[in-house]
Each structure stands twice: as structure tokens, then as C-alpha cells.
Amino acid sequence: MCPMLTIILNRGPEPDLSGIQGILFTSANGVRAFAKVAPRRDLPVFAVGDRTAVAARDAGFTLVESAGGDVDSLVRLVRDRCTPRAGAFLHPAGSDVAGDLAGQLGAAGFAVRRTVLYHAEAATTLSQEVVLALSEHLIDLALFYSPRSAATFVSLARRDGLEKACEKLEILCLSKAVAEAADPIMWRRVMIAPHPVQDALLDTLDERLHSQ
């Protein structure tokens, strides 16, 4: 493995939970970051997908519902289950977020407090093992979860003169936006998960591996 982004948890005070009716988690990283700085586990949790919901339960939350999808699915879940009159929602997140969770819920009358609890640092080099494996065509497939991770890999690979080697690779991307960030390289094949969630990406990976 050669991760393009390293998650760094921010040091700071416990988030203000006064007037909060529930917590919105859009990633397992958000769960881990919140659990690091806040002891409360009694608030209802609405998770973007099943893996994030599992991370919340593992962190000690007991009232957990999964939207089983993306930000749009999470918005629908909150609108179906909750009322704006019950209070605001806390959204523990990173410095970069995908989708407009606060905007969509705000349009439905909900207040969302986003608190930045972590950030992602981009890699500055490819490991020597990866450079060698790419040079000798020992890697067949790469997975990209975010536009930033894809763009970081493309930049480093081109800097190291590995663009031609990468043209023999297949890539599997979480979404169309991720694939677009990887577009500067002419990959052998570009696959996109049918839904922008990790479960769909891993299912696509499993189908690809079993089709060989």
C-alpha cells in the first residue's frame, strides 16, 4: 500500500454539544476524530454509510442509523427521521468535505454545525517499492477514493517519469469526480463505482477480480 493522504487529527477542545439533537458522520475518520476529543456517546448518530455506522458503533455509540449511501442519502434519512425543532446537528469533518450537507439540510430548515477535527496531508513522494513495481509492471490495479488522492498520485507519478508505466494500469475510482482528477494519465482502463460509497467500490473490485 502507498496511501496518498495521511489523516492528521487536530488538537483542540471538545466540540460544543449544547442544543445538538444528533451527530452526522460522513466518514469513519470523522468518527475517530470525534471519539478522540469528546466522551459523549448518548447522542443519536446518522452515518453516511454502513462502514461509517460500524465505526460509530465500535466507538461506543448505540443509537446509530446508516443512510447506506452518499450525502444525498444522509440528507433524506435526516429529513425522514428528524424535525428541525428538536435542535441542530453536529457534523465532525475534515478540512475538505465532499457534497453540501449543511446546504441541503439548511434548505429543509435544519441547522448544521460543522466542526473541523482533522485534515489530510498529501504524500510528497512515492515509495521506492511502488516506483520499482510500477517500473517493472508488477502492479495491475490502483484504487482512488478521492479527487485529491488521485491528483496527488498523478502528480508524483508524472514527476518520477512513470506516466508510460501507469498507462498499463487499471484504476478503480469512487466517483466520476475522482476519475476526472486522474484523467491526465491515459490509463489502460478506468472503472467507476456505481455509487460513491466504499461498499460499492469494493463490490466492483470483487467483481473485477472474479472476472479474471
The kind and range of the H/E element at 135 are helix 128-135
Confidence of residue 124 (pLDDT cuts 50, 70, 90): very high
The answer to whether the predicted template modeling score (pTM) of the entire model surpasses 0.75 is yes
Residues 59-76 pLDDT 10s: 999 999 999 878 899 999
Nearest to 145 by CA among 198, 191, 88: 198
52 residue type, one letter: T
* pLDDT surpassing 80 at residue 97: no
Judged by phi (left if over 0) then psi (alpha if -120 to 50, else beta), residue 167 lies in alpha
Nearest to 135 by CA among 168, 170, 171, 165: 165
Q: Rounded to whole angstroms, how far apart are CA atoms 171 and 169?
A: 6
The average confidence (pLDDT) of the chain is 92
Q: Measured on CA atoms in the order 30, 35, 37, 43, is the torsion positive or negative?
A: positive
The residue-averaged pLDDT of 35-50 equals 94
- CB burial of 39-51 (b: ≥16 within 10 Å; e: otherwise) equals eebeebbbbbbeb
* pLDDT surpassing 90 at residue 41: yes
